[in-house]
Amino acid sequence: MTTLKGKGVYGAIALGRISVFTRREASVKRTHIEDIEAEKARLTKAKEKATEQLRAIYEKALKEVGEANAQIFEIHQMMIEDEDYNESIESIIETQSVNAEYAVAVTADNFSEMFASMDDAYMQARSADVKDISNRIISCLSDEGGSDAVSDEKVIICADDLAPSETVQLDKDKVLAFVTAFGSSNSHTAILARNMNIPAVIGVGTELLNTVKSGVFAAVDGYTGEIFIDPDEETVARLEKKRKEDEEKKHLLQELKGKENVTLDGRKINIYANIGSVDNIGAVLANDAGGIGLFRSEFLYLESSDYPTEEQQFAAYKRVLESMAGKKVIIRTLDIGADKQVDYFGLEKEENPALGYRAIRICLTRPEIFRTQLRALYRASAYGNLGIMFPMITSVSEVEKILEMCSEVKEQLKSEGVEVSDKVELGIMIETPAAAIISDKLAPMVNFFSVGTNDLTQYTLACDRQNANIEQFVDTHHEAILRLIEMSAENAHKHGTWIGICGELAADTSLTETFLRMGIDELSVSPTFVLKVRDAVRKCDLSK
């Protein structure tokens, strides 16, 4: 048994086999081979396996995201069969007597170069598809023996760190726990783990990937941050017991379902849920959230290979609103940039992306993108109780511009005879110190505020969310942050504007009473935290 320790970011226990997450862009070595025919046979086998994987992904996508979005994986299968592509690979193997991995990698470079040099942004982005299928073939070539990647067993994912785009692609039904060598408690892996209700341990250090191997049995304790690799019987028994107790405790919380979010002295508050995709609605309803306080619309953009159309967006928003059947649904407009990148936006690499071209800044300078989203949102508004929220606000003039565009879009739709709700609430995120400081001026302009504590913390304390080295300096309870929230709450209420908190801090039950005393009207948390926060609210007595 080997024990490693990192930082637990979600308290839960998992026991199962490890699957090491390998990035498909592994470096490829050029090796000389003797048997050209054998190498070509290896290639054929790998291609068959890659095609089989793509067929499975296509089937899965077909069910989850519909035919239009699944089609890409069918085209990827065709690309693998492409004559020119294959001729190139085989001729490199034959003429240079090299390994198939190398031949695929060189061919991938040539073909993706060809697309990248085209004068059409859409076609330029296709070079990523060539790289994607090539990497898939290369990974099929390299793990000819092991087949744990296609197993149906749930696994503990071990990785150096996971990018948002990588987590999107993970099959979430097959993840027991996340363990990463790097990453901070604000990283996407951590957020995802909380959303999924599974243990996560981060910052284990470089020895993680030197120690773990796919297929090895392990136990993860998300409370203590410990990982037991190949644990002895005693450890297995101890953790299995802890896991059962844990489940019982969570079961007790379930009994709070259907109960009100009310303090002992009668103060009521709304507890909503944060979600990042239509798939999470089940979790929102299962955990009895009163609404959706933050629906991140980025998934529509992150999962797509081109700008999602008004129709696609409308369909997604309508589905959420209808599923929530009249309960409040607050959809945040596009928050791309910084740590969430999308190829087809063609954003330049920035020195300092958190302070860069992101979120509302993109929307205000590329109004065509913003207008498409606003049109889709307003069209969907007729199907439920919609709130629209704008991220990364720093000034009054930004809000003026946004409100102007909103009313333009609304009027335009009405003139087209489209049904639009007149009850759409508009709100802004308070996630920059600037917005909190001028909240007295912003409050009369909107219906609600929602405090994004993750970014507010990062900007107030000058601490990069993604930098694990400065974790010790990130004091999420810092007085400066709490004062900014309190100030925003006071200013909001002066103007009849309501205020919620949708950042990670909203789920921190050691602050629930503090927030209630500030007069916060709504807390929006991961679906799995709704009942825990309800429990905390019901134990508060503000009269004391």
Whole-angstrom distance, CA of residue 129 vs CA of residue 25: 13
Of 86 and 323, nearer to another protein (C-beta) is 86
| Least spacing, CB of residue 105 vs another protein, in Å | 16
116 binds another protein (CB under 8 A): no
121 binds another protein (CB under 8 A): no
Of 34 and 120, nearer to another protein (C-beta) is 120
How does 265-284 read in b/e, with b if 16+ C-beta sit within 10 Å? eebebbbbbbbbbbebbebb
Q: Which amino acid is at 337?
A: G
**Segment interacting with another protein (CB under 8 A) among 67-75, 172-180, 196-204, 234-242:** 67-75
Structure token digits, residue 128: 């990523």
71 binds another protein (CB under 8 A): yes
Whole-angstrom distance, CA of residue 349 vs CA of residue 356: 10
**Across 147-269, where does the E strand assignment appear?**
155-159, 175-180, 200-202, 217-221, 226-229
CA-atom Rg of the chain in angstroms: 25
Of 66 and 326, nearer to another protein (C-beta) is 66
Whole-angstrom distance, CA of residue 9 vs CA of residue 528: 14
- For the CA atoms of 47, 49, 55, 57, the dihedral, rounded to the nearest 10 degrees, stands at -110
**Segment interacting with another protein (CB under 8 A) among 119-127, 155-163, 203-211, 536-544:** 119-127
**Segment interacting with another protein (CB under 8 A) among 81-89, 97-105, 196-204, 406-414:** 81-89
Q: Which of 118, 325, 355, 418 binds another protein (CB under 8 A)?
A: 118
| Least spacing, CB of residue 202 vs another protein, in Å | 37
136 binds another protein (CB under 8 A): no
Q: Determine which one of 76, 140, 188, 540 is catalytic.
A: 188
**Segment interacting with another protein (CB under 8 A) among 15-23, 32-40, 74-82, 496-504:** 74-82
Q: Are 300 and 312 in contact (CB under 8 A)?
A: yes
| Least spacing, CB of residue 118 vs another protein, in Å | 5
Of 75 and 382, nearer to another protein (C-beta) is 75
Total residues binding another protein (CB under 8 A): 23
Of 108 and 489, nearer to another protein (C-beta) is 108
Q: Which of 10, 21, 115, 370 binds another protein (CB under 8 A)?
A: 115
Q: Are 42 and 31 in contact (CB under 8 A)?
A: no
75 binds another protein (CB under 8 A): yes
Q: Are 212 and 190 in contact (CB under 8 A)?
A: no
| Least spacing, CB of residue 306 vs another protein, in Å | 8
By C-alpha distance, which of 511, 508, 490 is closest to 499? 490
Whole-angstrom distance, CA of residue 441 vs CA of residue 266: 31
Q: Are 432 and 394 in contact (CB under 8 A)?
A: yes
Q: Which of 26, 56, 78, 252 binds another protein (CB under 8 A)?
A: 78
How does 447-471 read in b/e, with b if 16+ C-beta sit within 10 Å? bbbbbbbbbbbbbbbebbbbebeeb
Of 10 and 115, nearer to another protein (C-beta) is 115
- Mask for 357-376, x = binds another protein (CB under 8 A): --------------------
Q: Which of 62, 65, 72, 128 binds another protein (CB under 8 A)?
A: 72
**Segment interacting with another protein (CB under 8 A) among 15-23, 113-121, 214-222, 366-374:** 113-121
Whether residue 188 lies in the annotated active site: yes
Q: Are 186 and 454 in contact (CB under 8 A)?
A: yes
126 binds another protein (CB under 8 A): yes
Q: Which of 79, 163, 364, 445 binds another protein (CB under 8 A)?
A: 79
Whether residue 502 lies in the annotated active site: yes
111 binds another protein (CB under 8 A): yes
Distance from the Cα of residue 339 to its chain's centroid? 10
| Least spacing, CB of residue 124 vs another protein, in Å | 10
Q: Are 396 and 442 in contact (CB under 8 A)?
A: yes
113 binds another protein (CB under 8 A): no
Of 80 and 176, nearer to another protein (C-beta) is 80
Whole-angstrom distance, CA of residue 471 vs CA of residue 146: 37
By C-alpha distance, which of 166, 225, 234, 174 is closest to 199? 225
Whole-angstrom distance, CA of residue 375 vs CA of residue 413: 8
Q: Is 305 exposed, middle or buried (0-12, 13-18, 19+ CB in 10 A)?
A: middle
Whole-angstrom distance, CA of residue 180 vs CA of residue 208: 8
58 binds another protein (CB under 8 A): no
By C-alpha distance, which of 102, 147, 110 is closest to 131? 110
Q: Which of 129, 160, 440, 513 binds another protein (CB under 8 A)?
A: 129
85 binds another protein (CB under 8 A): yes
| Least spacing, CB of residue 72 vs another protein, in Å | 7
- Residues tagged active-site: 188, 502
Binding site for another protein (CB under 8 A): 71-72, 74-75, 78-79, 81-85, 111, 114-115, 118-120, 122-123, 126, 129-130, 305
